[in-house]
Amino acid sequence: MAAKRKATPPRETAKKPVAKPAPRQTKDEAAAQRKPERSGAKLVLRDGVAVSPGVAVGKAYCIRDIFLGDETRPLDDVAALHELYRYDVAREKTALDLKSVYKKVLDQLGEQQASIFLAHEAILHDPAFTAKVRSWIVDSKQSAQAALQRLLAEYTDLFAYTTDEFLKERLADIRDVIIRLAGHLAETAEKAAADEGAAGEGEPNILVAGELVPSHVFMLGDRDITGIVTETGGRTSHAAILARSRGIPAVSGVEGILPRVQNGDVIVVDGREGHVLVNPDYETLTAYRKLQRECVNLRDRLAENRDQPAVSADGQKVQLLANISGVADAKAGAAMGASGVGLYRTEYLFLTHPDVPDEEEQYQNYVEAIAAAPNRSITIRTLDIGGDKKIAYIGDNREANPFMGWRSIRISFEHPQFFLAQIRAVLRAAAPDGKAKDVRLMFPMVTTVEEMRKIRAFVHRAERQLTERKIPYGRVPIGLMLEVPAAAVSIDMLLEEADFVSIGSNDLVQYLMAADRDNPKVSSLCEPLSPAVLQVLTHVIRTCHAACKPVTLCGEIAAVPQACVLLFGMGLRSFSMSPAFVPVVKELLKHLTAERAEAILKIVLRMRTTAQIIRFMDEQLADIAPKLTILGS
């Protein structure tokens, strides 16, 4: 374990010219020298990956495996009967879910993809499955949630050492069924809490989990979450994206934290340095509460610039857009002063949907998103699943390397009717009826010119289908999300087929560095301020400008001030980020000129190591906008 230095506000830094700084300790070097700090037996300190800046203090709320909370207390007879009733209701709702999703997947994707839900129905109605859960509720006086958790653990232990792929798939099916049951149990629990007036009361919660997936977010409802800690994941995991979109401090990759934490423990999350403290002493807690107030006060002051234009110190206009996963995020973008939506991740509509959103449901969702988007300007990305984002009825969970396998646009091509339904829904939402002002359609993980031509053929086909059905639609610009190094190398050829480019730096960095961004053991390699990444970004941005094609960067580094300085120096004038960070970048621009940014970039492009660049950019940020350093990197 590593010691935490005293939390103190950042010092004001004197102005100085652009120059190479003297070498100083990097965070990794400092971490290697830290000693475990303890003040009494209760203090637990863990280091992880800082994924969303800021500081949060609150009470732990644990998600153990797929379950919310930690229900282990024995029940009395009346409570046990009530749990039995809750389980039966959840079982009935799950059965209806499975019938509905089977029909939708059958209609849109075919029998092979739909057959998985017949297997899920068989598991749900299996007498042994139900008998065990009911027995543990009645005889062992366990809650329905605890009984399901016990059942999953039993099956997991049973299949733990099997190498049989068929049995491994059956365990995955059992897990999916239990997730559905647990989701319906969570719904009734939240309703009961709301009926009793208990929802949202008490001290803010720090969410502690092994991992955070979209279904967890759906089940959490409106719970007051002010910090997030996960055992797995990196800067661009689901947890990171959720945290950054809401401006919540978060740390991921904190191995072994969940067994050390109980519900109600006091947790400190330092999303600037990547530290997590459990039950700290009074002095440490007081220091962090003070730092938390300073972070919150700074964010509140920055949010006051929401109505001001995004303009650099030398008068250059910049487009600051919002990355969103739903309508609520679009509204947050408008509230934070974004000028539009630069990335709508439509996969979250599918990941959180109880079954399969059909064309009409998608159309209604996109209409709502357009209406909520700042200036009714939005770039909608088609379904981007695979890798760490899996849907039971699409994809192949057995791939040895899913991040570089059958995912994103590659899956869409193999399911043309499903793909066309989403394209039609977007085109319909873009109909020129006065609501949609600027709608653009973007496709993920494009690698070759052939793929771009194929995409255009699909769009033309969708337009013909709508014309034949006499359904109004709009013609939209067609763009690609640049995530694959091969696309970066051949960007000049791809620009002949694309109307615009959005750089997806999250995936681009991990593919360029050959390092899984969600694996804590190698996530340090996924550093956007590495020489290789900066060279590639400079090439792509300048090539787009030379071809007079709009280019936006919509990866998470768009919200990192140190990276923004360099991107501005490359000539980038369109950034898309989590809504909470729009005011931060707007404040940075007020103190930055193109001449200063270009001079800094020129120096950085001559540097040979990531550590050297990070040290330099930390000092430059402290000089350009010193008050932003309190938020961390």
The CATH number of the domain holding residue 84 is: 1.10.274.10
Q: Distance (Å, rounded) from C-alpha 479 to C-alpha 380?
A: 10
In a domain, 23, yes or no: no
| Residue where a domain stops, chosen among 168, 195, 222 | 195
Q: Do the Cβ atoms of 137 and 80 come closer than 8 Å?
A: yes
Q: Are residues 52 and 98 in the same domain?
A: no
Q: Do the Cβ atoms of 124 and 95 come closer than 8 Å?
A: yes
Q: Are residues 166 and 271 in the same domain?
A: no
- How high is the pLDDT of residue 70? 52
Q: Distance (Å, rounded) from C-alpha 512 to C-alpha 498?
A: 22
Q: Are residues 271 and 342 in the same domain?
A: no
The Cα-based distances of 444 to 367, 399, 508, 551 in angstroms read 21, 19, 11, 15
In a domain, 273, yes or no: yes
In a domain, 222, yes or no: yes
Type of residue numbered 559? A
Of 416, 518, 91, residue with least CA distance to 526: 518
- How high is the pLDDT of residue 306? 84
Using DSSP, state whether 280 is helix, strand or coil: coil
Using DSSP, state whether 421 is helix, strand or coil: helix
Q: Do the Cβ atoms of 429 and 436 come closer than 8 Å?
A: yes
In a domain, 263, yes or no: yes
**What is the 3-state secondary structure of 176-224?**
HHHHHHHHHHHHHHHHHHHHCCCCCCCCCEEEEECCCCHHHHHHHCCCC
Q: Are residues 332 and 409 in the same domain?
A: yes
Dump pLDDT digits (tens) for 92-102.
999 998 888 88
- Structural domain of 526: 304-631
Using DSSP, state whether 266 is helix, strand or coil: strand
If one counts the domains in the chain, the total is: 3
Question: Could you tell me the end-to-end alpha-carbon distance of the chain, in angstroms, rounded to an integer?
Answer: 22
- How high is the pLDDT of residue 22? 37
In a domain, 96, yes or no: yes
- How high is the pLDDT of residue 471? 96
Torsion of CA 252, 257, 262, 266, to 10 degrees: -60
Q: Do the Cβ atoms of 90 and 144 come closer than 8 Å?
A: yes
Q: Are residues 289 and 356 in the same domain?
A: no
pLDDT exceeds 90 at position 216: no
Q: Are residues 123 and 164 in the same domain?
A: yes
| Residue where a domain stops, chosen among 299, 319, 348 | 299
Put residue 578 in one of left, alpha, beta given phi > 0 → left and psi -120 to 50 → alpha: beta
Q: Are residues 261 and 348 in the same domain?
A: no
Q: Are residues 139 and 263 in the same domain?
A: no
Q: Are residues 273 and 318 in the same domain?
A: no
Q: Distance (Å, rounded) from C-alpha 188 to C-alpha 90?
A: 9
Dump pLDDT digits (tens) for 256-273.
888 888 888 999 999 988
Dump pLDDT digits (tens) for 17-66.
443 333 444 444 444 333 333 333 356 677 888 888 889 999 998 876 55
Confidence label for 115 from pLDDT (cuts 50, 70 and 90): confident
Which of the residues are catalytic?
Answer: 238, 554
| Residue where a domain stops, chosen among 165, 195, 225 | 195
- Look up the CATH number of the domain holding residue 482: 3.20.20.60
Q: Are residues 417 and 328 in the same domain?
A: yes
In a domain, 5, yes or no: no
Using DSSP, state whether 318 is helix, strand or coil: coil
Q: Are residues 280 and 344 in the same domain?
A: no
- Look up the CATH number of the domain holding residue 283: 3.50.30.10
In a domain, 13, yes or no: no
Dump pLDDT digits (tens) for 146-188.
899 888 888 888 877 777 666 666 777 888 888 888 878 876 6
In a domain, 260, yes or no: yes
Q: How confident is the model over 236-241, as a mean pLDDT?
A: 70
The model's pTM: 0.77
From the CB of residue 345, how many other CB atoms can be counted at a distance below 10 Å? 21
Using DSSP, state whether 101 is helix, strand or coil: helix
Q: Are residues 313 and 280 in the same domain?
A: no
